């Protein structure tokens, strides 16, 4: 039987300062493509340092009790442009200005100037390296089509849906190349699903399913409200009822969902009963370390509305913007919380009445 509350991550982990000069999201010169930040090294020393950073990320996750791990996306400046910039059809030299995330902010984005085409493996070597440095099940992440459409300027297709399907076909080719190596999970990141529930229903699910077509690994989609940026509003659009109902119809196996920061009602999980839910119970934007008892309570509340054997525990989103020490402490708190929740689930009397003393 599957174990309830298995721990995992959404994807990214903080990069060591000896690898990467990370500027805050609100700093001058920072844009959607992370050009305000840069690698601390170049050439072979950079590749060696990235290898070491992946090893450290693996160690940090496993030491903190994370069961299904990633490489921490240590080789990527951006979860999205690391992939899209390697696809034919996108121009990142001559960017366009565009309002993204349902008008949340104005960004300099890459332009789609021709057919989107997969030119060959992008992450296969990265995944192979990760698999040789751990015995844990691993997850590998790719950007989802709707988020790519929202994060680029279309100068070619003239239709968001057509661009999305072309992106989905290219992403599917990469996913199949990764799948051949045997990862446990291939995840597609679709933070913008929360912003455009109507588009999710119209063509978002179709594009997502196209990404996952023919894969043997478990497939996941990550949905959140995007990173918290100082001085920029982060409206929590009440879109989960609609998008969870749509995702329930999808072929995707797992839904990685932000729940902690917006304090969403776990009763929403009744809308996706067939899916494994990767339940966000760590705030990735707040440096305060969560209380393990509170994490356990959130997980047990979720288990009242969803099969606990289909519940995994994770941060809301990637942890890249936190310090390494904070990320480690948060993941450790997550693990302790799952232990408490699992024990209470096995002995409901302990949850209701506390320990008994004869």
For residue range 84-122, list pLDDT tens digits in order. 999 999 999 999 999 999 999 999 999 999 999 999 999
**Which SS3 state, helix, strand or coil, does residue 96 take?**
strand
* Residue 354 covered by a domain: no
Domain count, the chain: 1
* Residue 176 covered by a domain: yes
Position 352 scores a pLDDT of 39
What DSSP line would sit under 221-252, residue for residue?
EEE------TTS-----S-HHHHHHHHHTSS-
* Residue 232 covered by a domain: yes
CB 170 within 8 Å of CB 143: no
Position 214 scores a pLDDT of 98
Per-residue pLDDT for 23 more than 90? Answer: no
* Residue 356 covered by a domain: no
Domain housing 119 = 6-349
Q: Report which of 90, 109, 103, 88 is spatially closest to residue 32, judged by C-alpha positions.
A: 109
* Residue 234 covered by a domain: yes
CATH number for the domain that contains residue 301: 3.20.20.210
* Residue 149 covered by a domain: yes
* Residue 144 covered by a domain: yes
Position 353 scores a pLDDT of 36
* Residue 1 covered by a domain: no
- Residue % of the chain over a pLDDT of 70: 93
């Amino acid at each position: 039987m599957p174990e309830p509350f298995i721990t995992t991550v959404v994807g990214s982990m903080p990069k060591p300062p000896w690898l990467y000069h990370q500027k805050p999201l609100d700093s001058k010169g920072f844009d959607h493509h992370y050009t305000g930040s840069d690698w601390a090294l170049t050439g072979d020393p950079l590749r060696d340092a990235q290898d070491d950073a992946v090893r450290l990320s693996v160690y940090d996750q496993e030491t903190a009790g994370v069961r299904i791990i990633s490489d921490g996306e240590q080789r990527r400046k951006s979860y999205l442009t690391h992939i899209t910039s390697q696809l034919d059809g996108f121009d990142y030299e001559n960017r366009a200005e565009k309002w993204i995330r349902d008008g949340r902010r104005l960004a300099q984005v890459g332009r789609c100037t021709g057919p989107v085409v997969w030119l060959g493996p992008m992450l296969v070597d990265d995944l192979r390296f990760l698999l040789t440095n751990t015995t844990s099940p691993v997850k590998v992440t790719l950007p989802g089509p709707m988020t790519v459409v929202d994060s680029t300027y279309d100068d070619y297709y003239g239709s968001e849906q057509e661009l999305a399907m072309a992106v989905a076909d290219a992403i599917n080719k990469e996913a199949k190349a990764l799948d051949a190596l045997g990862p446990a999970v291939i995840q597609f990141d679709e933070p913008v699903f929360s912003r455009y529930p109507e588009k999710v229903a119209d063509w978002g699910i179709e594009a997502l399913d196209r990404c996952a077509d023919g894969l043997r690994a478990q497939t996941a989609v990550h949905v959140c409200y995007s990173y918290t940026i100082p001085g920029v509003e982060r409206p929590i659009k009440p879109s989960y009822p609609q998008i969870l109902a749509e995702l329930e119809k999808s072929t995707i196996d797992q839904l990685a969902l932000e729940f902690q920061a917006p304090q969403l009602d776990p009763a929403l999980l009744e809308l996706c009963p067939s899916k494994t839910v990767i339940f966000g119970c760590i705030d990735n934007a707040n440096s305060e370390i969560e209380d393990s008892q509170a994490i356990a309570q959130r997980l047990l509340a979720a288990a009242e509305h969803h099969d606990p054997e289909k519940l995994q525990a994770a941060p809301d989103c990637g942890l890249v913007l936190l310090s390494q020490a904070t990320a480690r402490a948060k993941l450790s708190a997550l693990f302790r919380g799952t232990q408490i929740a699992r024990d209470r689930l096995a002995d409901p009397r302990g949850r209701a009445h506390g320990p008994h003393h004869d």
